[in-house]
C-alpha cells in the first residue's frame, strides 16, 4: 500500500521526471566516452581525450560545485530548477550538434588549418559537456538533496523507500540506455546516436520543467522560504553564520564569493558527516566502474555490444543493492549498512586486480618506465572515426575485470544510498546546497585525479596500473567510512549513558 501511495500524486510525477532525466544522462554517459575516443583524431588505442574529457568534467564541478550549492541555497526553488534545466539541456544539445557536424564533415575538419579546427571543435564539445554535467549536478542537489526531503516531511522510512526507488530508476536506465545507444551505433552510426541524444534533451527539458512546476504548485512546503540567518546591512561576512555580525571594512573590499567558498569547505570538514563523505569521494578515484574511461578501454578490447551488456549486468546488481536497502535498514543500524557494502565491494574488486596479470591482459609493466608525449606526431594517418579496430585475444583478463566490477556494484550502490540517507538526515536544511555542493566538488576532485592518471598513462597496456591504484582508493574509502562509523558508535554510547543518567536522576527525584 505504501508503494501505491508513493506513486500517486506529486511523488509519481517526480519519478516520471527522474526517469526522463536519467535516460538522457545515461545515454550521454555511455556514448560520451565512445565519442571522445572516436573523435580523438590520431589513434583508437589511446584514452588521452577520454581522460581530458573526464578531467574537464571533474575540474568544472570541483571549481564551481560549492558555489553552485550555495547559489541553490539562496535561490527560490522553482527559479533554481528553471535556470538549471535550461543550462543543462541546452549545453548538451550544443555539444551533440558539434559531434554530429564532426562525424559528418570529418575529412574537411581534419584538413582545415592543419588540424586546428579539429582541436577547436574537440575543445568546444568537452567544455559544453562539462558545464552541462555541472548543471546536472545542480539538478541532483535540488531534487535528491532538498525537494524529496521536503516532500517526505520528516518520514525517514518513506525517505529510505524514496531513495531506493530513485536509485532503481537510475540503474534501470543504466541497463537500457547503453543498450539502446549500442544498437544505434552498431546498426546505424555514431552520427545518428549524437542526433538522437540531442533531440531527447530538447524534448526532456520541456517535459521536466512542466512536471517540476506541477509538483511545486501541489506541495505548499516547497513554496516556503528556506530558513536564512538575518544579517545587518554592514555585515562583512553575510555568507557565514554567527551570533554578532562582524563589520570589518577591509573584508568588504574582497569578493564575498572568495570567502564563502572557503567557509563552505571549512564547514564541511567540521561536520559530523565529513568522514562518511570523504569515504564516498574516494570511490570516485577509480576506473573500476563503467564510466567513460572504462567503457572506452573495453571498446578497444571487445565489442561495444558486450561492453553495453556488461554495463547492464552491473546495473542489475546495483538495482539489487538499491532495493534491498529499505529492508536491510529495518534489521541493521543504518550507519552499519555502508560498512558492509564497502567490505563487499573491496572483496569483489580483488578479481579486478587479478585480471591485471591474467592471460590476455594487455598490461605491460615495461610501458610504465617509458614516457612518451601523447600529443607527439607519430607520422601515422588520422583514423576515420567510423573505422572499427579491436584487439582480439584470450578473454580471461576481460572476464575477470568485468566480473569483478559487475559483482562489486551491489556493495557500491548499497553504500551510496546509505551515505546519501545519512547526509540527508544529518545536514541542516539551510546548508543542504552548500554541503552537498562541497561533497560533489570533493567527488570530482578524486575523479579528476583519476583523469590525470589516464592522461599520463593513456595506453591500454598501462591500464593495469590504474586498476591497482583504483583498488587502493576503494580500500581507503572503507577506512575513512570506518572512522565515521566508530565516531557514530561512540556518540550513541555517550547519548545512551546520558539518557540513563537523566532517567535515574528523574527516578531519584520522584
Indicate whether 320 belongs to any domain. yes
Q: pTM for the whole thing?
A: 0.70
Q: Are the C-beta atoms of residues 305 and 182 closer than 8 Å to each other?
A: yes
Q: Are the C-beta atoms of residues 450 and 474 closer than 8 Å to each other?
A: no
**For residue 201, what are the domain limits?**
2-222+264-367+386-509
- CA dist 242 and 257 (Å) reads 17
- CA dist 197 and 190 (Å) reads 11
Helices 304-331 and 156-187: crossing angle in degrees, nearest 10, is 170
Indicate whether 89 belongs to any domain. yes
Indicate whether 216 belongs to any domain. yes
Cell, residue 439? 561533497
Half-sphere exposure (CA, 13 Å, Cβ side) for 358? Answer: 18
- CA dist 458 and 466 (Å) reads 10
- Domain with 80 in it: what CATH number? 1.20.1250.20
CA distances from 318 to 202, 234, 326, 341, 447 (A): 29, 51, 14, 11, 20
CA proximity to 489, closest of 338, 333, 342: 333
- CA dist 90 and 350 (Å) reads 41
Q: What is the pLDDT of residue 327?
A: 85
Cell, residue 93? 544539445
Kindly provide the b/e burial profile for residues 335-369, where b requires at least 16 CB atoms within 10 angstroms of the residue's own CB: bebbbebbebbbebbebbbbbbebebbbbeeebee
End-to-end CA distance of the chain: 45
Q: What is the pLDDT of residue 238?
A: 47
Assign 3-state DSSP to the chain and report helix, strand, coil percentages, each to 5.
80, 0, 20
Q: What is the pLDDT of residue 255?
A: 53
Count of domains observed in the chain: 1
Q: Are the C-beta atoms of residues 285 and 293 closer than 8 Å to each other?
A: no
CA distances from 355 to 6, 360, 402 (A): 43, 9, 9
Q: Are the C-beta atoms of residues 368 and 462 closer than 8 Å to each other?
A: yes
CA distances from 135 to 44, 130, 345, 457, 510 (A): 30, 9, 30, 29, 59
Q: What is the pLDDT of residue 373?
A: 53
- CA dist 39 and 191 (Å) reads 11
- CA dist 313 and 320 (Å) reads 11
Q: What is the pLDDT of residue 195?
A: 87
Indicate whether 36 belongs to any domain. yes
Indicate whether 95 belongs to any domain. yes
Q: What is the pLDDT of residue 47?
A: 66
- CA dist 459 and 434 (Å) reads 38
Indicate whether 351 belongs to any domain. yes
Q: What is the pLDDT of residue 4?
A: 55
Indicate whether 362 belongs to any domain. yes
Instruction: Tell me the average confidence (pLDDT) per consecutive run of 10 residues in the chain, 510 residues long.
Output: 58 84 85 76 61 80 80 84 91 90 81 80 88 87 80 77 81 80 79 87 90 86 65 46 48 55 80 89 88 74 77 84 85 88 94 89 75 48 49 76 91 89 81 79 85 81 89 94 90 72 66
Concatenate the DSSP letters of all residues of 275-299 into one string: HHHHHHHHTTS-SSSSSHHHHHHHH
Q: What is the pLDDT of residue 470?
A: 93
In the block, residue with C-alpha cell 524529496? 148
**Torsions phi, psi for 241 (to 5 deg):** -105, 135
Q: Are the C-beta atoms of residues 466 and 286 closer than 8 Å to each other?
A: no
CA proximity to 23, closest of 141, 136, 170: 170
Q: Are the C-beta atoms of residues 65 and 139 closer than 8 Å to each other?
A: no
Cα 210 to chain centroid, rounded: 25
Q: What is the pLDDT of residue 377?
A: 44
Q: What is the pLDDT of residue 261?
A: 65
Indicate whether 280 belongs to any domain. yes
Amino acid at each position: 500500500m505504501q508503494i501505491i501511495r508513493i506513486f500517486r500524486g506529486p511523488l509519481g510525477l517526480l519519478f516520471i521526471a527522474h526517469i526522463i532525466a536519467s535516460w538522457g544522462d545515461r545515454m550521454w554517459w555511455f556514448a560520451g566516452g565512445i565519442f571522445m575516443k572516436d573523435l580523438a583524431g590520431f589513434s583508437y588505442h589511446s584514452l588521452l581525450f577520454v581522460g581530458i574529457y573526464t578531467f574537464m568534467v571533474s575540474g568544472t564541478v570541483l571549481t564551481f560545485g560549492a558555489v553552485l550549492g550555495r547559489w541553490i541555497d539562496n535561490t527560490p526553488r522553482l527559479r533554481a530548477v528553471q535556470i538549471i534545466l535550461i543550462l543543462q539541456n541546452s549545453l548538451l544539445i550544443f555539444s551533440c550538434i558539434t559531434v554530429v557536424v564532426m562525424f559528418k564533415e570529418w575529412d574537411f575538419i581534419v584538413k582545415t588549418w592543419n588540424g586546428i579546427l579539429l582541436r577547436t571543435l574537440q575543445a568546444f564539445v568537452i567544455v559544453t559537456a562539462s558545464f552541462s554535467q555541472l548543471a546536472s549536478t545542480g539538478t541532483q542537489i535540488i531534487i535528491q538533496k532538498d525537494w524529496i526531503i521536503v516532500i517526505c516531511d520528516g518520514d525517514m522510512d518513506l525517505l529510505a523507500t524514496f531513495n531506493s526507488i530513485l536509485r532503481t530508476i537510475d540503474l534501470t536506465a543504466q541497463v537500457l540506455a547503453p543498450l539502446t545507444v549500442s544498437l544505434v551505433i552498431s546498426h546505424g552510426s555514431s552520427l545518428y546516436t549524437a542526433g538522437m541524444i540531442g533531440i531527447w534533451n530538447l524534448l526532456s527539458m520541456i517535459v521536466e520543467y512542466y512536471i517540476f512546476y506541477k509538483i511545486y504548485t501541489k506541495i505548499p512546503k516547497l513554496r516556503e522560504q528556506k530558513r536564512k540567518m538575518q544579517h545587518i546591512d554592514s555585515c562583512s561576512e553575510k555568507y557565514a553564520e554567527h551570533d554578532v555580525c562582524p563589520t570589518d571594512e577591509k573584508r568588504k573590499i574582497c569578493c564575498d564569493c572568495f570567502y564563502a567558498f572557503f567557509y563552505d569547505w571549512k564547514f564541511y570538514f567540521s561536520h559530523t558527516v565529513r568522514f562518511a563523505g570523504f569515504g564516498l569521494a574516494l570511490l570516485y578515484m577509480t576506473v573500476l566502474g563503467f564510466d567513460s574511461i572504462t567503457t572506452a578501454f573495453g571498446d578497444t578490447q571487445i565489442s561495444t555490444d558486450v561492453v553495453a551488456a556488461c554495463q547492464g549486468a552491473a546495473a542489475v546488481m546495483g538495482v539489487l543493492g538499491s532495493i534491498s536497502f529499505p529492508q536491510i535498514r529495518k534489521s541493521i543500524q543504518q550507519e552499519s549498512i555502508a560498512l558492509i557494502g564497502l567490505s563487499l565491494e573491496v572483496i569483489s574488486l580483488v578479481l579486478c586486480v587479478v585480471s591485471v596479470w591474467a592471460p590476455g591482459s594487455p598490461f605491460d609493466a615495461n610501458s610504465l618506465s617509458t614516457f612518451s608525449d601523447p600529443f607527439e606526431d607519430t607520422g601515422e594517418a588520422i583514423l576515420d572515426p567510423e573505422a572499427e579496430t579491436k584487439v582480439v585475444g584470450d578473454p580471461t583478463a576481460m572476464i575477470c575485470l568485468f566480473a569483478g566490477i559487475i559483482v562489486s556494484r551491489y556493495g557500491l550502490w548499497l553504500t551510496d544510498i546509505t551515505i546519501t540517507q545519512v547526509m540527508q538526515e544529518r545536514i541542516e536544511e539551510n546548508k543542504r546546497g552548500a554541503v552537498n555542493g562541497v561533497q560533489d566538488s570533493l567527488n570530482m576532485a578524486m575523479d579528476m585525479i583519476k583523469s590525470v592518471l589516464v592522461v599520463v598513462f593513456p595506453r591500454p597496456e598501462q591500464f593495469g596500473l590504474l586498476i591497482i591504484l583504483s583498488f587502493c582508493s576503494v580500500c581507503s574509502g572503507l577506512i575513512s567510512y570506518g572512522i565515521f562509523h566508530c565516531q557514530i558508535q561512540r556518540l550513541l554510547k555517550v547519548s545512551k549513558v546520558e539518557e540513563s543518567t537523566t532517567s535515574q536522576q528523574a527516578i531519584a527525584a520522584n
